Amino acid sequence: MEEPSASNRYVQIESHQVALGMYIHALHCSWIHNPFWRKSFLLTDPDDLAKIRESVPAVTIDLTRGRGPAMIAATDTPVSPPPVIEVPVTPIVTTLRPRRAKPPTELERASAVSARATAAVAQLFGEARLGRTIRTSDLVPIVADIAETTATSAAAMIAVTRLKDREQYIYIHSVAVGTLMMNLARHLGLSEEDVHVAGMAGLLHDIGKMRIDADVLDKPGRLNAEEMIEIRRHPGLGHKILVDMQDLDPRILDVCRHHHERMDGAGYPDGLRGDEISQFVRISSVCDVYDAVTSIRPYKRAWSPHEALAQMLEWDGHFDPETLRAFIANLGIQPFAALVRLHSNRLGIVMREGDSPSSPIVRTFFDVPNNMPTTIEDVATVHDPILRAERGDYWFGERWPALQAQILAGPSVPNAPLKRAAMGL
């Protein structure tokens, strides 16, 4: 058979024409009706075929990677098998050793876990969208997978969940929040049972969005006042979906309903404040906002981790300060303008992005062992790692805000040390 040319490689067909063995290149439906987390795949599962015929009007197939309509007509006709002729075969003895498969990297393992989790969340959310009974027990092995992965390679798991497909945003966001919550819960010294509860709460916190109008969820621009009222219904709607489920930890319900509450009482839906907000909700609030602002959305650019944390620290009354500080320490990522100590025992201020979120460019200005200013230098911390965050008021007292602003602006004379008097020393 002649190979398809580049011009006729892709063919759009109606869903009733779809058959096993086709390579699905695109599903022609809105994401809200998309039963899959993948955009393209080889169709081999009869259940997946049934889902396409049930909920997808049309698809585009790739003739170079799977069968096409003409091939189906030919190959679906029963054909008698040729007669079997037995031929004696002399066995061949080989001394070649089987090649060992290269073990997957941490990122590859994390990607596989993230993909499985996203598919499971998409399936469960899809059931909720259709008003069917959902089984959160299906997520238990997924939570265990994430718990195991974050215990050994949390950075890799967090990294892969930052890469979000627009059409799968809600599902991957849920996996990301679950990952961040589990990691922070473990950092705070909670039991492994509580860590698993935190993960389940993160996976389910946005399930109420399945009952929100798709036009509002998919809107590429900012929401107007009426649309904002609509989107703010999702915590209550999610709580209604989950409230009658048996054996569901009440902290999961609490997170689902209250993850948009604020410490100053300005959140929703119940306007809780201070001690009325539980530890799990405080954890979910920080993790939810961090992942949202560091994700690319149709109406805004993604903030860098340093920028996100710096902004979150500025939002007085939004987060529990202790939970936010623990979150920053757990990530190992310092906000822009934060004071840090480097391995070389110099103090410096985080200035801009480096080779990775944990290795920013730091402007050093003070030598700790000698207790005196040094020549200002912008240092790549991939070569001189950050040891820990430091408190500016501890080192420089009430002069710290002015000194910080001076260092951020840069020295008046390049490569010149600050004067001790200016530092209050």
Q: Which amino acid is at 113?
A: V
| 129 and 258 fall within a common domain | yes
Residue 260 CA neighbour count, 13 Å, CB half: 17
Domain count, the chain: 3
Compute, in degrees rounded to 10, the torsion defined by CA atoms 152, 156, 162, 166. -100
The region that residue 337 occupies, defined by phi over 0 for left and psi between -120 and 50 for alpha, beta otherwise, is left
| 385 and 301 fall within a common domain | no
| 245 and 214 fall within a common domain | yes
| 191 and 306 fall within a common domain | yes
Measured CA to CA, the distance from residue 29 to residue 320 in angstroms comes to 41
Q: Which of 73, 91, 123 is the last residue of a domain?
A: 73
pLDDT at residue 74 in the model: 37
95 within some domain: no
Measured CA to CA, the distance from residue 401 to residue 393 in angstroms comes to 8
| 292 and 390 fall within a common domain | no
| 35 and 146 fall within a common domain | no
| 254 and 347 fall within a common domain | no
Measured CA to CA, the distance from residue 39 to residue 61 in angstroms comes to 12
Q: Count other C-beta atoms under 10 Å from residue 57's C-beta.
A: 12
The region that residue 415 occupies, defined by phi over 0 for left and psi between -120 and 50 for alpha, beta otherwise, is left
Q: Which of 329, 349, 377 is the last residue of a domain?
A: 329
- What pTM was estimated for this model as a whole? 0.72
Measured CA to CA, the distance from residue 96 to residue 288 in angstroms comes to 53
pLDDT at residue 397 in the model: 94
Measured CA to CA, the distance from residue 258 to residue 268 in angstroms comes to 7
| 67 and 162 fall within a common domain | no
| 110 and 206 fall within a common domain | yes
94 within some domain: no
Sign of CA dihedral 14, 20, 23, 24: positive
The region that residue 345 occupies, defined by phi over 0 for left and psi between -120 and 50 for alpha, beta otherwise, is left
> Between 279-293 and 321-331, two packed helices, what is the crossing angle to 10 degrees?
50
Per-residue confidence in pLDDT tens, the chain, 425 aa = 444 555 567 888 988 888 887 888 888 886 666 777 666 777 877 778 888 888 888 899 888 777 777 544 333 434 344 444 444 555 555 555 556 667 778 888 888 899 999 999 999 999 998 888 888 888 999 999 999 999 888 888 888 887 777 778 899 999 999 999 999 999 999 999 999 999 999 999 999 999 999 889 888 788 899 999 999 999 999 999 999 888 899 999 999 999 999 999 999 999 999 999 999 999 999 999 999 999 877 667 789 999 999 999 999 999 999 999 999 999 989 999 999 999 999 999 999 988 888 899 999 999 999 999 999 999 999 999 999 999 999 999 999 999 999 999 886 555 556 655 455 55
pLDDT at residue 104 in the model: 79
Contact 403/383 with Cβ under 8 angstroms? no
| 214 and 192 fall within a common domain | yes
211 within some domain: yes
Q: Which domain holds residue 242?
A: 106-329
290 within some domain: yes
pLDDT at residue 425 in the model: 52
pLDDT at residue 37 in the model: 64
| 110 and 251 fall within a common domain | yes
Residues forming a β-bridge with 366: 347, 373
- Which secondary structure element, helix H or strand E, spans residue 330, and what is its range? helix 321-331
In three-state secondary structure terms, 350 is strand
| 204 and 320 fall within a common domain | yes
